[in-house]
Structure 1
Amino acid sequence: MKITAQEEYGLRLLLRIAKCSDNSGMSIPDLSEAEGLSAAYVAKLTRILRIAGYISSTPGYKGGYILARPAGQININQVLKLLGGTLFSKNFCGNYSGVRPLCTNSVDCSVRSLWQMIQLSVDQLLDQITLADLVGSEQTSLQLLHTLMAQHTRVLS
C-alpha cells in the first residue's frame, strides 16, 4: 500500500493552513514556497480542498486560504479519501477481474476479506483523528497516535 503524493501534499497543505496565524490565510505562492511545491500543484490541491468545503479563500490582494471550519471538525479519514480514495471499495472486484467480466473468485474470495479487514481497521483508526490532533508538534501527535493505536489494538483483540 502506498500513500499517494496527492494525499501527502494535500494533507500537508491543509495542516499548513490550519497552523497559519494570519487571519487573511496563506496564498498559493506562500503555500508553494513553504511546502516546496509548484504553484500549479498547490492550486490544484487547494481547489479540491475548497470544493470539498475544508478551506475557503479570503478576498483581496493579500487574500489566501483559511480553514472553512474548525480543525477539530475536519476528519483525517474523510480528507484522505477525498484526496486519494479508499484502499478497498465495493467496485474493487469489478476493477480487478482480469480479462473476464467477473472475477473468477467473486463467490468465495479470502483475499477480498483481507482487503475489507484492512480497510475497516484503517477507517476505525483514522476516523478518530482530526486535523486539530495534528496541529501540534510531531511528539504530541505521536503520543496521541500511540494511544489511539493501543486502544484500537485492544478493541480488535
Structure 2
Amino acid sequence: MRFTSQEEYGLRCVLQMAKRDGEGPMKIADLAELESLTPAYVAKLMRVLRKGGIVVSVRGQSGGYRLARPPALMSVADVLMVLDHRLYEPAYCQEYTGISPSCVHMSDCSIRALWRRLEASLWHVLDKATLADLVGRERETIVQLGAPLHAARVS
C-alpha cells in the first residue's frame, strides 16, 4: 500500500491545523516550516484541501487557513478522499497485462476480489479515525486506535 506525497503531506498539514485548532488560522509559511516543505507546495495542497471542503481560507493580515470542521468531526478518510487516494482502481488491471493487450483474468480474477476487500477494510478504518485521534504522540495514538505496537506478519 502506498500513499502519494500529496496525500502524506496534505494529511500532515491538516494535522498541524488540528493540533492548533482554536488558535486561529495558520499561514502557509508556518505550515511549510513545520513540515519542511516549500511554501509553493503547501499553497498547492491548501488549494486542493480548500476546494474539497477540508480547510477554509481566512483573509487579512492575520489570515491563513483553518479546518472547516472540528478535528473530532473530520475523519482521515475525509482528508484522503479529497487528496485523491485510491488503493485499488479497476484501470489498474490494464497496467499488468503481460504481453496481451488486456489482462487474461479480466473476466474472473480472484486477486481483484482481494484488492477490493482490502480497500473496503482500509476505508472502514480510515473513516473511524478522526483528526482528533491523531493529534497526540505516536504511543498515545496507538492506544487510542487500538493498534498493535508493532506490525505483525502472520506466517
Into which bin does the TM-score normalised by the smaller protein fall? 0.7 to 0.9
User: In the alignment, which residue of structure 1 is the partner of 2:153?
Assistant: none
Q: Distance in 2 between matches of 1:72 and 1:94?
A: 39
User: In the alignment, which residue of structure 2 is the partner of 1:114?
Assistant: 114
What is the correspondence of 1:14-53 to structure 2 with a 5 Å cutoff?
14-20=14-20, 23-53=23-53
Q: CA offset at residue 113 of structure 1?
A: 1.3
Q: Which runs of 5+ in 2 are unaligned?
A: 149-155
Instruction: Give the letter for the 1:115 counterpart.
Output: W
Instruction: Give the letter for the 2:121 counterpart.
Output: S
What is the correspondence of 1:9-88 to structure 2 with a 5 Å cutoff?
9-20=9-20, 23-88=23-88
User: In the alignment, which residue of structure 1 is the partner of 2:143?
Assistant: 143
Percent of aligned positions that are identical = 44
Instruction: Flag the 1:99–1:49 CA change in 2: closer, same or farther, 3 A.
Output: farther
Q: Which structure has more helix as a fraction of its residues?
A: 1
Q: 128-137 or 30-39: which moved more?
A: 128-137
Q: CA offset at residue 64 of structure 1?
A: 1.0
Q: CA offset at residue 86 of structure 1?
A: 1.0
Q: Which runs of 5+ in 1 are unaligned?
A: 150-157
For normalisation by structure 2, the TM-score amounts to 0.83
For normalisation by structure 1, the TM-score amounts to 0.83
Q: Deviations over 1:58-81 (max 9, x none)?
A: 111121111111112212123123
Q: Distance in 2 between matches of 1:80 and 1:95?
A: 23
Q: Deviations over 1:70-108 (max 9, x none)?
A: 112212123123224211134433555567564321111
Q: 105-114 or 81-90: which moved more?
A: 81-90
